[in-house]
Structure formats: C-alpha cells, structure tokens
A and B are shown apart, each in its own frame.
Chain A
Amino acid sequence: MTGTTPTPATPAPDADAEAVYQLTVNGTAHRVEGTRPTDSLLHVLRDRLGLPGAKNACEQGECGSCSVLVDEVLVCACLELAEAAVGCEITTVEGLTPVGAEPGDAALTGTVLTDVQQAMIEAGGVQCGFCTPGFVVAIHDLLDRVPDPGPLEVREALAGNLCRCTGYGRILAAIEQVVTVRENGR
C-alpha cells in the first residue's frame, strides 16, 4: 500500500478450493462448509461453528488465549489449520465437563462448572476474563497429566498463557485450591 505504483490485488482464493469436511468438536461431529484451506482452527471454531470460547488475541501462538486440545494435546488453535484437525478429537472450553459427566452432556455443559472453573472464580483468578478460557483448558491439561505439580512445573506449563490483569497470583491460588480438593477427594 506504499508508493505510487498500484499494488495488484491478491488473487481471490479459488472457489473450487473451498473445502467441505467434518470436525469432531466436544464429542459432536460438525460439517464445515465454505471454508478456505488456509483457515485456522481458531477461525473455524469461532466464526463457523459458533464456539467463541477460544479467544483471538495475538494470532502468533504467543498468548494461549485460544488454547484447545487436539487429540488431548494442548495447542494454540490460531496456529493449527482447521483441515489438519479432521479425524481428531477437538476439545474447547465449551466441552469441558465436570468429573463424572459425559463429554458433550447437554444437561451439564454450561450449567455445571468443572473444579478448575469453580476455583478460578472463587480464588479471584478472573478479571477481564479474556485469557480465562485458555487458562482453564491449559490448567485442566496440566492437572490431567500431572496431578500434583510443583511450583516450577506449574510455571513452566502455563508460561504459554498470558494474563495482563491478574499478575497470575490468584490463578496460581486457584490451581492450588484444585490440587488440594482433588487430593482430599482421593
């Protein structure tokens, strides 16, 4: 857009290239139409499938606001091509369910909080809340892999999730609360 020479417009994506495929998100198969091969998983989740829980804040995999699980691996949805996730189990914050509930259980999803979600609210880990869904997914992932993480393990695991409001203190307090409650429940 600089200088005096007209910049040619980038060619429009070939309409034939528009893809039709299925994505399995939170236990439900979704038919995805009219997307472009370059569409990120984040774009498809938010703007095609009506799942805005994963947030868009950096588009570079730096902030973790779009954290989701693809086949139980924590990823930044902004860095994943949607079409590459075909055949995978995708879990977003909307699909997190309390222990004992079935994934996608409509009666529970949206009305009952997981222990991590509950602790984040109670401990004061939520301020503006923009990073919160990403943190909730990442904390579940951490505690599923490491039930009793040490302080350094927690910091390493969550260093990919930026929060600008809390300074992380109350988020760490929330994790501590979850670990304690889970230990007492065992």
Chain B
Amino acid sequence: MTPALASTGVQAPPARGGAAAGARVGDSPIRPDGTPKVQGRFAFASDLEADSMLWGRTLRSPHPYARVRSVDVGPALAIAGVSCVLSADDVPGASTYGLMALDQPVFARGVVRYTGEPIAALAADHPDTARRALAAIVVDYEPLEPLVDPARSAETPPIHPDGNVFRHIRIEHGDPAATGEVVVEGVYEVGMQDQAFLGPESGLAVPDGEGGVDLWVATQWLHEDRDQVAACLGLPHEQVRLHLGGVGGAFGGREDLSMQVHACLLALHTGRPVKMSYLRDESFVGHVHRHPARMRYRHHATAAGDLVKIEAEVLLDGGAYASSSSAVVSNAARFACGPYRVPNAVVDATVVRTNNPPCGAMRGFGAVQVCFGHESQMDKLAARLAMDPVELRLRNALATGDVLPTGQRVTGAAPVAECIRAAVAHPLPTTSNDGWLDHPGGAGRTAEPPRVRRGVGVAAGLKNVMYSEGFEDDSEARVRLSGGVASVTCAVAEVGQGFVTIASQIARTVLGCDAVVEPAGTVGIDSAGSSSASRQTWMSGGAVLQAARQVAGQVRSALAERLGVVPESLTLTDDGWIVGAADGGAVGALNMTVAEAAGDRVFESTAVHRHRRTYPLGEGGQGDADVSFVFAAHRAVVDVDTDLGLVRVVQVTTGQDVGRMLHPTQVIGQIEGGIAQGVGLAVMEEIVVEDGLVRNPSFTDYLIPTVADTPEVLATCIEEPEPEAPFGAKGAGEPPTISSTAAVAAAIRSATGVDVTRVPVRPWDLI
C-alpha cells in the first residue's frame, strides 16, 4: 500500500505501552482503555444490564407546539409486561431542569413546545413490549401555530413563561462611529448540525432499596447531572449516585440531561433496575443541536488593508428550551470579529426561543457559527482590496498583548500569524485522477473530469478554553501511591478524548511509576467540571498534577526523615526522581524514583485546580470574561463538479495553537476528527427542520463524513507554552472544528465563483 492515505506534519514518537519509561508527558503511550475497546469488551452505557432489569422508553410529542388536554396511560398499563407508566404528576421533586435556566419539563404538563418533547415514560419487560405500550398511551393534543422563525420570536407572544429571548448581548468597543475607506457587507447563515455521536443516549438506573438510586450513564459531567437529577427526584445528593457508563462520543450533545431523570424515576417506582437506550431516531430529538445562525456583517478597513471597525448582528435559534444558549450566544458575541486586531467594534447578538428542537452545546459552540461569517467577510474584503487573503489575515492577525473587542488583553500565547503561515506552508495536493472515488460524487461516477474545478480557501478562528464570565469550573483529583503503582481518582467524563491517557501520563511523570485511572463517579470525589470547552487537560490535568506533586512532596519528607536529613537536601525532579541536592551533603549519590522511595508505605493527596478568576461582561459587553484563548487556521482544497454542484474536499491543512502536546498522537486524533466534523458542516451535515419537525432523524438521511468523504489532513502544531496552563498545554479539541468549515466554503467560492453565504453548501447552491 502506498503511504499517501493520510499523513501529518507532526511526527509522533512511536507508541509504547505499559512501561513507565515510555509513557510520560510528551510521549504517545497507548490508551489504557484501548484493549477492551478493540476486543468489544469495553462496557458502553448501552451494554449494561442487571438481573430482573426492565426496559424504559419515552413517549414524545409529535407536535412542535400543542396544548395537551389529557394523557391516558391506562391502555398502556393494561398490557402484560408493563410495570409502570409515569408522567408529569409522578415527578416528586423539581418539575423542570436545565443547565443554566430550569425551564425544561421532565415531562410536559399542559403544553408541548417541540417535536420530541417527553410526555411520559414507561418500563416493561422487553423492548418490544415497551414499544407497543408507548403506542397505547392516549394523548389528546390541541395543535397550536408553532413559532418556527427565530426572526419573529421577539415580537411573538411568549411560548414559555420565561419569554422568547434567552439572551441579548451588545459589545461596543472603541469608537462606534468610526468608518473605513473600504466597506464590505454580507449576510450569512449556518444550518443546524448534530453531534451524531455513535453511542446512543443510554443508562442503567438501579434502586438501592432504601429510597436512593445508582445511575450508570453516558454523560459529559457527572456532578452536574447528579445535581439536576437529585433535584427532580426530590432526593439529597448522597442518595443519587452517578457512575460513568462507557461513553460513545459526546461533542457537546451530552451536556444536557436526556434519559437520566426518566430512568431513575422508573427504577424508584418499580424497585427494579431500568435500562434506557435511545434508538437513533430518538437520539436525534433526544439531545440538543448546534444553533442555526443568521449573521449580518459590515467590515471597515483602510485602503491599505488594516481593519478599522467590524459591525456584526448575530441571531441564534435556541429552540424550545434554554440549555446552554446563554453561553453559546456569549461566545458568538465575544468571538464575532475573529482572531484579528479590531480597534472598533459593534456586535449585537441574540439567542431566542422557538418551537424548533432545542439547541445547545456542540464542539466550538458560538465560535463556529461566527467564524463562517467573519472569515467570509475577510475574503470579501481581500477581494475588494485586490489583496491576497492570506496577506490580509497576516496583516491584521491578533498577537499577545492585543486587546479584544471585550476590552480583554490577550496575555497568553496568541500565535495567530504562525498558525496561518503553517497552514499554508503545507504542499498542495496534486491532481491524482487515480480512480472514480477521487471525483466529486464518488461512487455515482457522475463527474466529467473537464467540468471539475479545483479551489483553495483559507480561514482562521479562535475560541476560549474553559468556562467564562465568572463561572468557576474547578476540578478535584486524588492521587494515591501504593505498592509502586499510582491510582488517580477524578470525576472526569472520559468521552473518547483520552483524558484517561493524559491523567496516567501525568501521574507517571511525577511519581516515576505505573499509574491507573479509577472509574469516574460522584461518590467520594468532588466535581471535575464538564468534558467541554477544551478544558479537561488544563483543569483536571492540573488537578492530577497538583495532587501527584503533593504526594511526591510527602514521599520526599518521609524519605528525608528516614535518612535523618532535612527535606531540602533531597530534590524532586520534573520526571519523577528523587536525587541528592546539588551540593551533595549527607545524602550523597541518592537517585531513585518517587515510587521507589515510597517503598511499601501508602501516600495520598487530593487537590483542586482553579483557573484565574474571570468576570461577567459588563457595560458595553466589556470585561475580562476569559481564562485563555486558543487559535487555529485551516487551508482547504476542494474539487467541485460544476454540473451537479457536488463537492469533494481533497485536503485540509492546519496550523494549530496547542501550547504543548502532552500526547502527540491524541492531539492529531483531535485535529483529524475535528476537521472531519468541520468538513461535515461545510458540505453535508444539516438537520432539516420543517414547521418544527425534524425531517431526517437517521444516518440514512443525516449524512456524516465517511472515510471516502474525509480529506487528507496535514497538521502543524504550534507549541508556544501557555504561561498559566499545567505543562503549558492548551486544550486541543475545539479549534479543528472552528475554521475548517469556513476554509472549505472559501475553497468552494474560489472553485466556482459562487458567493457561498450559507453552510452546509448544497448542490443547488452551486448550479
């Protein structure tokens, strides 16, 4: 086989398993969960079972907006094998929940606000029985005129007691009256993308017989789920114990509750374990999606190409319930101007409620949508100035010390120009013509080669790492050194990103021994925060590092005591060794790992990692809202069949700001996977919603990139250590998804001359 299948500009060291020597920070050891995963033995949440287990299912609204006159569960209860049917009257605690606003009912009462809203849940002895029983529940609906156009939300009578506007943010920076010699305007639109994780929403709830419940579940944030579930169950936290079930991907789609409360209610009512596992059609309405966006931009620049002012209006469709909309719109506002020096800016961003499916977190939220807008504008501006688009971006590239439109000064690494230069430095692909799969349309064999046009486009983007605006997303970790092995306890949701690898690398590095990561749960350890916002390497990696260093310090003190010397005569190295201090002294040529020095004693320490304080946006949208920023640039090459409007993305190259790579192979995995999702949003992925109804809730009709659709990826990681980050490492998960979409759109424009103003680009947009 030729080696051209996929390659990368980063040479990862060869992977080594097991031995501590090759498994430290900066190496690429194998994942600790890799073996069970390749063998099919890894227990995903949908694989769990228990003796005398029942199957739970959810009845959902077929209407986007309707009054619910009555719900008759009697016919379902009459079916043999059905143990219980629950609806709004059966929720003992809080009747609503939510990540930021408690506005979403556990079960609808009196009204349904989106197609797919839960009305009842039941438990039965077999999935088929449960399915038949759902169909037997009689609901009397009075359909109402749904609010489906977000542009009409603000003036439409409220469809929820909390009103139709989730949040409005206005950022005014510099002189709002400033004008440039050159002005370009554009209107842009982003469709609704789905996380499309492969492992369906699943969990197993097991009652403890004393009124409490244990829930094994696929989630992104165990403690937040625990708090929301306990509130709805009306139970104290200690009676609701969450454990991480194997998570089959997340990408933001597991930040909100799905089946958690329903399964626990069913288990507590029946006194039996209850498993719930969505099928794909239910998954498409059972979690939030990426917010569709409408954006209007006006860029002002000097004739020489210096940005003078950016005006932006952003409207996001939040759907029926709040979810994380207020954070998404804040990101959209804060990053609306892109990774550039912009002396004057007016950004007006709003997220509203409609009767469309609820929207919330998806990889790069807020930043992805506006990136398509600001990068389309940069290309438009370059064309107007007759300037090279790369040159225009480099000329305006943000750097450390620059001030963002929020007034926050960037104090950490900001290698924007380096990212752009690295992305465009990779070699362009040759035209291969070595098979029909290489043409747009692939197996359709539709393209006439002379009618295929190639185009190249570039884009850059930025995003925050960690939560913002004053939110304190601390992480706690415990490290225990016993018998020559370190064990790490931390409630991080391992969703596939590889935190378990990173955590064991950190412990090995500090303690010089093998390390294992214990199962994650809410018992006995405090929150690790969410596996979101590219934050776990920094926050929970930081907590593991701190706890491990405390353990190393304990070992040093104990050894010093044993040797009868002061602790200062022993030095802890950065890579897990204890050596005699430089001046020799009483200790002499001592040289052993921390774990060896610990001998058969047990040492343990717990640490909480906190990031620097952030602040809410104040007057004019000003404030130091963020901890840190991460940047990336992408160059895309596409081939377009100009007769049929089909696009093949041939290659995507990137320069990405990573701070420092703790595990090069995993960083590359994030880059390649994130780019695939960005390519998906550019050319194929959209949840089609008509009159509030999702028309394509399946993998037959909602297309995600296959291996035949995915481009060659060449990546350069820019390693400029972030001053405040543990090991200098920024998060790597989101940047690949932010500007890859915009780069593909730009490449399509260059191939076709069509002014692409909407993603995903559809064939009929191009012909």
Contact = CB atoms under 8 A, between A and B. Distances in A.
Given A36-B128, A159-B706, A59 B496 contact: no
Nearest to A117: B38
Interface string A120-139: 11111011111111001000
Interface of A: 1-4, 6-10, 12-13, 36, 46-47, 51-60, 62-63, 65, 92-94, 110, 113, 116-118, 120-124, 126-133, 136, 148-152, 154-156, 158-173, 175-176, 179-180
Contact of B707 (A3, A118, A161): A161
Contacts of A155: 437, 707-708
What DSSP secondary structure best describes chain B's contact surface? loop
12 contacts: A56-B200, A59-B280, A120-B38, A124-B15, A130-B249, A131-B198, A152-B434, A158-B707, A159-B707, A164-B249, A166-B676, A169-B669
Contacts of B138: 6-7
Contact of B437 (A2, A152, A162, A169): A152
A129 B33 contact: yes
B134 A1 contact: yes
Contact of B6 (A51, A116, A130, A173): A173
A4 B196 CA distance: 34
Contacts of A133: 37-40
Given A1-B62, A2-B62, A60-B698, A167 B44 contact: no
B672 A121 contact: no
Given A10-B132, A94-B39, A124 B140 contact: no
B662 to A, nearest CB: 14
B364 to A, nearest CB: 15
B652 to A, nearest CB: 9
A57 B63 CA distance: 26
B198 A128 contact: yes
A162 B699 contact: yes
Contacts of B44: 52, 55, 129-130
B136 interface: yes
A112 B675 CA distance: 34
B450 interface: no
Contacts of A36: 128
A47 B134 CA distance: 21
Name the interface size band of chain B: 35 or more
A92 B5 contact: no
Contacts of A122: 15, 17, 30
Contacts of A7: 135-136, 138
A112 B561 CA distance: 46
Contact of B672 (A118, A149, A161, A166): A166
A123 to B, nearest CB: 7
A11 B36 CA distance: 41
A110 B35 CA distance: 9
A53 B39 CA distance: 7
B198 A127 contact: no
A2 B135 CA distance: 9
B280 A60 contact: yes
Given A12-B80, A122-B30, A172-B6, A148 B1 contact: yes
B698 A58 contact: yes
Contact of B28 (A51, A57, A124): A124
Contacts of A130: 44, 197-199, 248-249, 496
A13 B129 CA distance: 10
A162 B665 CA distance: 21
A168 B37 contact: no
Given A159-B706, A168-B707, A169-B713, A57 B1 contact: no
A65 to B, nearest CB: 6
A166 B668 CA distance: 9
A127 B72 CA distance: 44
A53 B40 contact: yes
A175 B219 CA distance: 31
